[in-house]
Amino acid sequence: SRSSAKELLYNAEKGGYAIGAFNVYNLEGIDAVVSAAEAERSPAILQVHPSALKQGGVPLVSCCIAAAEHASVPITVHYDHGTSKSDLLQALEMGFDSVMVDGSHLPLGKNILYTKSISSLAHSKGMLVEAELGRLSGTEDGLTVEEYEARFTDVAQAGEFIDETGIDSLAVCIGNVHGKYPPSGPNLRFDLLEELRALTTKKGVSLVLHGASGLPRELVKECIALGVRKFNVNTEVRNSYMESLKRPEKDLIHVMASATEAMKAVVSEKMRLFGSSGKA
Ligand code: G3H
Ligand code: 13P
Ligand code: ZN
Ligand code: NA
């Protein structure tokens, strides 16, 4: 069934686990997430990035919503990485349950103004708002260690940001990155996560971690113990799709089915790792 993002995150907080938000691009992706959620008896978030929306348009969002409504477990539909105000204004009309207002590329003052301008509108439509503070790097950004760490979420700024914007959840930067981690592995600042957790608990805001692909199991578990309630997963699911296309299938339906199965396996494993399996 289609559930509110608020209910999913509230239950995750109460139960001490996290919800997976999986980026989807087409019907196979949607099917993979929903069938994994049903098999695992897990809640889930279907997440649409602006680039996916540009390709799939309103029908992609409608498919997400229809799939959520028909699912036997709670599913919500989320708009990921809204870096453009005009795109976000359009997204607000498409029926998402929650949106990410991503002003993380802006200086603090501008990020506050940007996030605030959308969050009041989104809230008036009953949507939850996620925002990001700090700046998530990609592995290929080529930054020095100092430049990299300067992008981490600042606790004092986060307090001001939450008070000023009224957001529901905060995506933090503690060494997590989109895509692959360097060969040396992820280096997450758990001391910083702990401080951010104390702050967000006080403010009643959920903690979100982007870049969950490539995070070893122990680090994911530690993040959950320190309060992360939503993990964004894209690369691992997408790669399993791309790999499945290399198999010598001849029939289109078989190509689609094996792509769905490949993604479903990755999604199911994440649900078990996040602790959301069996919670629906
Ligand atoms: O508090 C919830 C946030 O606004 C994000 O929503 O994590 O359910 O996608 P979501
Ligand atoms: P990964 O591609 O590293 O899983 O990150 C996904 C993400 O943060 C989507 O918003
Ligand atoms: Zn992200
Ligand atoms: Na990642």
Residue spans per domain, the chain? 5-274
pTM above 0.90, yes or no: yes
Give the pLDDT confidence of 92-120 residue by residue, as tens digits: 999 999 999 999 999 999 999 999 999 99
Nearest residue (by CA) to ligand 2, atom 1, is 211
Contact (CB, 8 A) for 73 and 43: yes
Residue of 178, 207, 228, 270 best suited for mutating to test ligand 2, as the one with most atoms within 8 Å of CB: 178
What is the reported pLDDT for 264?
98
Buried b (16+ CB within 10 A) or exposed e, 90-109: ebbebebbbbbbbbbeeeee
Is the CB of residue 232 below 6 angstroms from any atom belonging to ligand 2?
yes
Residues 6+ apart with CB under 8 A from 29: 22, 23, 237, 241, 263
Nearest residue (by CA) to ligand 1, atom 9, is 78
C-alpha 65: how far from its chain's center? 17
Structure tokens at 142: 């080529």
Atom of ligand 1 nearest to the CA of 47: 9
Distance, in Å, from the CA atom of 5 to the CA atom of 127, rounded to the nearest integer, reads 8
Distance, in Å, from the CA atom of 144 to the CA atom of 105, rounded to the nearest integer, reads 18
Residue 80 among the catalytic residues: yes
What is the reported pLDDT for 140?
55
Structure tokens at 163: 């008070």
- The mean predicted confidence, pLDDT, of the chain is 95
Is the CB of residue 213 below 6 angstroms from any atom belonging to ligand 2?
yes
Residue of 83, 210, 241, 274 best suited for mutating to test ligand 2, as the one with most atoms within 8 Å of CB: 210
Nearest residue (by CA) to ligand 2, atom 9, is 232
Is the CB of residue 168 below 6 angstroms from any atom belonging to ligand 1?
yes
Band of residue 51 on the pLDDT scale cut at 50, 70, 90: very high
Architecture of domain 5-274: Alpha-Beta Barrel (3.20)
Is the CB of residue 212 below 6 angstroms from any atom belonging to ligand 2?
yes
Is the CB of residue 91 below 6 angstroms from any atom belonging to ligand 2?
no
Give the pLDDT confidence of 69-81 residue by residue, as tens digits: 999 999 999 999 9
CA dist 244 → 33, 35, 37, 255 (Å)? 16, 18, 21, 8
Atom of ligand 1 nearest to the CA of 169: 1
Tell whether ipTM is more than 0.90.
no
Catalytic annotation, pick one of 31, 80, 102, 168 = 80
Mean pLDDT score, 249-259: 94
Contact (CB, 8 A) for 218 and 180: no
Distance 234 CA to ligand 2 centre (A): 5
Structure tokens at 145: 């260690």
What is the reported pLDDT for 249?
82
Is the CB of residue 165 below 6 angstroms from any atom belonging to ligand 1?
no
Mean pLDDT score, 145-154: 83
